[in-house]
Amino acid sequence: MTDQPSPAEPFTESQIDRLVEDFYAKVRLDPRLGPVFERAMGADGWPAHLAVLKVFWSSVLRRTGQYKGSPMAVHAKVPDLTEDLFATWLALFHATCAEVFDAERARQAGAAAERIARSLKLGLFFRPEQFA
């Protein structure tokens, strides 16, 4: 049995699980991102966070609709989150997608991550009054 999805199902749950596990293993090791996540969750928060992220990415990539949270509200509570960290996050995400998926699925997942990052950055950091 292979883990290759059918054309009608572009991503499998096991691929999403691997994406989340592998990606956040890299995040935890990253000298800039790791400490931000550790402070936000603590050492014991990772299993629950990974479980939520698997549901989130399944909702995004497989359109399951299972995720019912608010990424904006969650990220707004992270005190050390800065706009420049998104570039590092995206670079690690794209690298992990290239390891987990074929080229087309890596492109699709990466494009979704880019849209999500753009939305989060706008919601968290854009202040129109700065330009008035």
- 8 domain residue, yes or no: no
The CATH number that applies at residue 88 is 1.10.490.10
Q: What is the pLDDT of residue 42?
A: 81
- 70 domain residue, yes or no: yes
- 37 domain residue, yes or no: yes
Q: What is the pLDDT of residue 129?
A: 64
Q: What is the pLDDT of residue 10?
A: 81
Summarize pLDDT for 22-80 with one digit per residue, the tens.
Answer: 999 999 999 999 999 999 888 788 999 999 999 999 999 999 999 999 988 988 888 88
Q: Are 124 and 39 in contact (CB under 8 A)?
A: no
SS3 106: helix
Distances (CA, A) of 91 to 33, 84, 114: 12, 12, 10
Q: What is the pLDDT of residue 43?
A: 72
- 63 domain residue, yes or no: yes
Nearest CA among 9, 24, 1 for reference residue 92:
24
- 2 domain residue, yes or no: no
> What are the structure tokens assigned to 69, written together?
């949270």
Handedness of CA 114, 119, 120, 125 (dihedral sign): positive
- 25 domain residue, yes or no: yes
Q: Which domain holds residue 23?
A: 13-126
SS3 97: helix
Summarize pLDDT for 89-121 with one digit per residue, the tens.
Answer: 999 999 999 999 999 999 999 999 999 999 999
Total count of domains within the chain: 1
- The rounded distance, in Å, linking the Cα atoms of 50 and 54 is 6
- The rounded distance, in Å, linking the Cα atoms of 47 and 60 is 20
Cβ-based neighbours of 64, under 8 Å, separated by 6 or more = 55, 58
Q: What is the pLDDT of residue 62?
A: 94
